[in-house]
Structure 1
């Protein structure tokens, strides 16, 4: 977010909670960062965020869709009874929230009117989906998360075909040092195979987790400049030709 703001962009952040860091960032960029409080799992909150962007800035150029949850962890055979309801809740956040905000945003993303500076032939809008290697992998104990990210990628491919004036890219962001990685280390051993869990704990122990701003710079760059030929693709954040070349630095 700070990368986009430093690049001179106006940003609307849909947040369930307003952290001190977010409040401080908004204070540094008055008028350029607008916080829309809400829950991505609620369609009305997704619509409200789109409306806030239009009311505040008069246009919508890009979406970066990054909300996600790993819970419930567990093998496919464990996802019955109340746990099936937990899986449905995960899909509300990881997948159905995407559909909800996209349905409201697409008419404004594809619109060219009122977008000063838009060059002829340039896409009118861009969508960056924060995906995962889980979309094509099969980490044990991640049945729900793996399936939701695969669904995300499928949605991106379809959107790429349906909306020729919107570039849609799904991005594997590597393994950034986030709260999700902490949860994997703390809770994963009870649900994942020892080898899968050791792979993630080893990255932390060896200091090999990515600083979040590194893949974040790629997400920001793609939101601003992703070319038409990437639409519908699933790319690795550090692919020199398909992602890394667009990175914006902190």
Structure 2
């Protein structure tokens, strides 16, 4: 790793209540950084973690699809910790699952809702956070030449794939990657990395197995069923450790890239649970 973790860093994390987000949150807290978790609803395990890490973990109740809630989360970070070093944007939704031919008419509202969560929420929170991410002042421990801030976008292989029935989800992740590439060119003080987290064993995989068969091709659905049956789904802390490490340590040369979580460079920054 290029530099030690600054324990005073502050990270905003969305989608932290379960699965990959919760695993990432636990790793961040164990690394000694401050976290603001943006959540519409709290899980029991998230509430318990907030009790354990009082003064270090703050839960900002809100919906990432609402601009005012994203602005409020940034305000919580600045008011509580006086600095903002990174975003990990993990919140997302998968449905509606349907072929393109079935996404018009009344179903179009569901596509717009998905994009509100998976794409427009990114633009919203990033725009509010960038002035603080760019700022170098009051960031104790920041080394000259090191990025002032970092953004980690939790993407998917869907960004470059074409799984049947996933049209809306595929398109939203492709838009996410495009946003990350553009930020890499525009923001010289802030490193932005889009990460494919593989196939962690989360509720999303359960939904794919249970619901995907009705809209996915038989071969696509069988592929995901096989991963589960063979015990090949990832423990969430494995890619979660990479998300956490990149948020704290990703170097300038990675900005604008789309990487697999287990590629050599991103995995070199993996934090252990």
Structure-1 separation of matches of 2:136 and 2:166: 41
Name the TM-score, length of structure 2 as normaliser.
0.91
Question: In the TM superposition, what is the alpha-carbon distance from 1:28 to its structure 2 partner?
Answer: 1.3
**Equivalent residues, number:** 249
Name the TM-score, length of structure 1 as normaliser.
0.99
Decide which of 153, 158, 162 is 1:138's aligned counterpart: 162
Structure-1 separation of matches of 2:83 and 2:102: 45
Determine if the alignment matches structure 1 residue 63 to structure 2 residue 63. Answer: no
RMSD of aligned C-alpha atoms? 0.5
Structure-2 separation of matches of 1:207 and 1:223: 29
Decide which of 1, 24, 29 is 2:48's aligned counterpart: 24
User: Which position in structure 1 is the counterpart of 2:269?
Assistant: 246
Determine if the alignment matches structure 1 residue 170 to structure 2 residue 194. Answer: yes
User: Which position in structure 2 is the counterpart of 1:38?
Assistant: 62
Decide which of 80, 85, 98 is 2:109's aligned counterpart: 85
Question: In the TM superposition, what is the alpha-carbon distance from 1:197 to its structure 2 partner?
Answer: 0.4
The Cα offsets for residues 165-191 of structure 1, whole Å up to 9 and x where unpaired, read as 100000000000111111101110110
User: Which position in structure 2 is the counterpart of 1:147?
Assistant: 171
Structure-2 separation of matches of 1:244 and 1:217: 9
Structure-2 separation of matches of 1:59 and 1:27: 22
Question: In the TM superposition, what is the alpha-carbon distance from 1:27 to its structure 2 partner?
Answer: 1.3
User: Which position in structure 2 is the counterpart of 1:201?
Assistant: 225
The Cα offsets for residues 64-89 of structure 1, whole Å up to 9 and x where unpaired, read as 00011111001111111111110000
Question: In the TM superposition, what is the alpha-carbon distance from 1:149 to its structure 2 partner?
Answer: 0.2
- Runs of at least 4 residues off by over 3 Å: none
Decide which of 55, 63, 72 is 1:48's aligned counterpart: 72
Determine if the alignment matches structure 1 residue 221 to structure 2 residue 239. Answer: no
Structure-1 separation of matches of 2:144 and 2:246: 19
